[in-house]
């Protein structure tokens, strides 16, 4: 089958393209922004890319058009496809029907931690010899790729997928995850996000309940017991096995934390294993509990899962060290929601308390998500940055629709806002001193600020 993918350079659709190619399909695609690194990754797979959405692309005469949710009505290629009544399907539905239908699907849903937790589950299964396929919204450093059909030389029945609550396509406003045929479903957490498509948290809870409804009776829902929103979701009805994790009374899975970042896994009141690893932060330990629980559902012993996590290398853009110059370390992190920002900065603060380092935390933030641009979360920014010693915000009033400087004003002299990237880099370099930690947080490329900082620090 020849499929032509609209919006192919997005993380999800790019992963879909790789899976389709591995499955033996001819794959072509187009996007508004065809540029590295996604373009080079796809071209290396033998996938032909076209810049833009010109209607002449129907002359490729594919068997099926796969539509990404970045594409909307009015798009010239979409209009040409619809006017000719040509076959089209959303990306999530294509994945569900052609890749996941006969798999044991382990899905990870939640406002935060989906990518890291999915990577943990995939790595545990890999370590245990299950050779899973996966589609993850980032690049797990243990694998070096974001998607694969199955392990090398294997035909695995298991597939791990990051299950996003964002809508499916312009013609399907259900969340992506309802298409995935989940048999093991992790519900990590649930907060208000995606203000561009959800009016309130109740609307998101409804979508999460749609996911719960798709899990079969022999499946298992593994939910965070500390999240009131998830408890409301489950009270609407659950027809599958259930397990819970967290610190709430009665949770099936808990932990005993140690000062060095390691933790004991507590299952049904008894110590089952100890995880000794390199990651920091309570959020990562919580993610690990969920991953261990999911892996146990497919038969991986708890002790084996704990051993796997000892070798887990996290995900690119999740506290990824981009370089150290003159004793100053620059990190890249995907955090863009206030809760994720607070967790990221707080996790590093906790890690530093356990060392001899007296270095400061310099937080560099670009609030560019759709939710941030709507101003829905701007008042929560100062609280989310409370563990930082200095804060540098980037974003113009024209781009955001609100003044970043005003939002950070309550932080006083430790916070400053900029709309010129080069000026901000100079300010950060002037403030930084040996031993400091600079965390750059954005869900975009941030103008290559990481490399700019490293080069300026070197000078």
How many CB atoms lie under 10 A from the CB of residue 352?
18
Residues 379 and 405 sit within 8 Å (Cβ to Cβ): no
Helix, strand, coil percentages, rounded to 5, for the chain? 40, 25, 40
113 labelled ligand-binding: yes
179 labelled ligand-binding: no
HSE toward the beta carbon, residue 375, CA cutoff 13 A: 12
Q: What is the CA radius of gyration of the chain?
A: 22
d(CA 137, CA 10): 9
Short-list 345, 284, 286, 346, CA closest to 312: 284
d(CA 276, CA 144): 23
| Torsion angle, alpha carbons of 156, 63, 57, 9, to 10 | -10
Widest Cα–Cα separation across the chain: 67
115 labelled ligand-binding: yes
Q: Is the dihedral of CA 198, 199, 201, 206 positive or negative?
A: negative
281 labelled ligand-binding: no
d(CA 146, CA 221): 24
Quick one: how many helices (H) and strands (E) in the chain? 16, 23
Residues 66 and 94 sit within 8 Å (Cβ to Cβ): yes
59 to each of 54, 56, 151, 187, how far by Cα in Å?
11, 6, 36, 43
Question: What are the structure tokens assigned to 252, written together?
Answer: 């099936």
For residue 329, what are the contacts with CB-CB under 8 A and spacing of at least 6? 321, 323, 436, 437, 438
d(CA 455, CA 186): 41
Residues 189 and 230 sit within 8 Å (Cβ to Cβ): yes
Q: Is the dihedral of CA 339, 345, 348, 349 positive or negative?
A: negative
- Coil, strand, or helix at residue 181? coil
371 labelled ligand-binding: no
Distance of CA 415 to the CA centre of its chain: 27
d(CA 98, CA 83): 26
Question: What are the structure tokens assigned to 423, written together?
Answer: 């000026």
Residue ranges of the annotated binding site for ATP are 110-116
Residue ranges of the annotated binding site are 110-116
């Amino acid at each position: 089958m020849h499929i032509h993918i609209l919006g192919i350079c997005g993380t999800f659709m790019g992963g879909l393209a790789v899976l389709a190619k591995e499955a033996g399909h001819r794959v072509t695609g187009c996007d508004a922004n065809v540029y590295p690194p996604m373009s080079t990754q796809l071209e290396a797979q033998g996938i032909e890319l076209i810049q833009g959405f010109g209607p002449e692309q129907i002359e490729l005469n594919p068997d099926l058009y796969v539509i990404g949710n970045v594409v909307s009505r009015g798009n010239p290629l979409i209009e040409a496809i619809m006017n000719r009544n040509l076959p089209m399907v959303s990306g999530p539905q294509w994945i569900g029907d052609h890749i996941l239908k006969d798999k044991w699907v382990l899905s990870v849903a939640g406002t935060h931690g989906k990518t890291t937790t999915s990577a943990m589950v995939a790595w545990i299964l890999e370590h245990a010899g299950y050779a899973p396929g996966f589609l993850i919204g980032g690049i797990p450093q243990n694998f070096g790729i974001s998607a694969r059909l199955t392990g090398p030389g294997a035909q695995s029945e298991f597939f791990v997928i990051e299950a996003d609550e964002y809508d499916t396509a312009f013609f399907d406003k259900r969340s992506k995850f309802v298409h995935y045929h989940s048999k093991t479903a992790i519900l990590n957490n649930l907060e208000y996000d995606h203000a561009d498509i959800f009016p309130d948290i109740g609307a998101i809870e409804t979508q999460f309940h749609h996911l719960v409804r798709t899990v079969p009776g022999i499946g298992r829902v593994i939910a965070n017991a500390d999240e009131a929103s998830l408890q409301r979701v489950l009270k609407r009805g659950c027809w599958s096995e259930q397990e819970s994790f967290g610190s709430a009374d009665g949770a099936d899975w808990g932990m005993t934390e140690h000062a060095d970042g390691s933790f004991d896994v507590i299952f049904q009141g008894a110590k089952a294993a100890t995880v000794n690893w390199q990651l920091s932060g309570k959020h990562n330990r919580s993610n690990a509990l969920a991953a261990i629980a999911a892996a146990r559902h497919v038969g991986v012993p708890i002790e084996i899962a704990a051993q796997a996590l000892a070798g887990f290398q996290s995900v690119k853009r999740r506290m990824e060290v981009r370089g150290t110059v003159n004793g100053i370390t620059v990190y890249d992190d995907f955090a863009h929601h206030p809760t994720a920002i607070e967790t990221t900065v707080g996790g590093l603060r906790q890690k530093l308390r356990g060392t001899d380092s007296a270095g400061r935390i310099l937080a560099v933030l670009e609030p560019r998500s759709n939710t941030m641009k709507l101003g829905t979360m701007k008042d929560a920014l100062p609280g989310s940055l409370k563990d930082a010693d200095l804060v540098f915000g980037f974003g113009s009033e024209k781009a955001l629709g609100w003044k970043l400087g005003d939002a950070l004003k309550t932080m006083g002299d430790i916070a400053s806002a900029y709309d010129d990237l080069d000026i901000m880099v100079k300010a950060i370099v002037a403030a930084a001193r040996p031993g400091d930690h600079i965390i750059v947080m954005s869900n975009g490329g941030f103008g290559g600020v990481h490399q700019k900082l490293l080069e300026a620090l070197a000078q």
